[in-house]
Amino acid sequence: MKYHASPQSDVAPFVTSRILSQLQQGKRVLWLLSGGSGGAVCVAVSKLLKGHDLSNLIVTMSDERYGDINHPDENVAQLMADGLSLDGATFYRPLIGQSRDDTTTAFSAWLDEQNLAVDYRIAVLGIGEDGHTCGIKPQSDAVTATTSAASFVGNDFERITITPAFLRRVDEAVVQAYGNNKHSVVERLLNGEGDRAEYPMLTIQDIPTVTIFSDYKEK
């Protein structure tokens, strides 16, 4: 893992360069977007990609909050409202207007299909104070799921998320975690400390190429 103690404004140009480097080699790229604190980065990347050939770019969320399509807490709806636009790319919206179980099954099957079809998989990830990444909450059913996507009822939302099983298929992750409240989990991730059921973010260590951006100062 590479670590950069640098401003958050550095993240979007870096992600953009990593995506374009693969596309310009003629590769089909799957890009997993982040909601929450990572949403602004993903919107900024989409603006930097404007004008490039995105016909080989496939995009979806790493996790979503279940409900009706376009409900106020839907990650996709929030990103689109903030200006996410990826003309020419293939975009999969996890919510499909069906039950949570059927939506999860469809998302998992789509991920499996794309995993076989693409040449490179890159994810923009955040990490939470509680040690989660994507929607993989500590001690949740998603931690031990063997499918590519899982869902559960959290203490805040009904969540649909990629699982550690799929996260291990990702070729590259760019992690952004800013703010004093994230420093302890950044340190834990860098040192690999803890149980993965309690700190699902530690699965990030299994990804071949990881770059972490934060304002945490290494000791």
Q: What is the pLDDT of residues 109-148, one digit of tens each?
A: 999 999 999 999 999 999 999 999 999 999 999 999 999 9
CATH of domain 2-214: 3.40.50.1360
Q: How far is CA 103 from CA 80, 83, 98, 111, 130, in A?
A: 20, 25, 6, 12, 26
> pLDDT for 54-85, tens place per residue?
999 999 999 999 999 999 999 999 999 999 99
pLDDT of residue 156: 85
Percent of the chain exceeding pLDDT 90 equals 92
Tokens of 194: 């803890």
Q: Cβ distance 100 to 67 under 8 Å?
A: no
Q: Cβ distance 125 to 136 under 8 Å?
A: no
Per-residue pLDDT band for 37 (boundaries 50, 70, 90) equals: confident
pTM score, whole prediction? 0.96
176 pLDDT exceeds 70? yes
97 pLDDT exceeds 70? yes
219 pLDDT exceeds 70? no
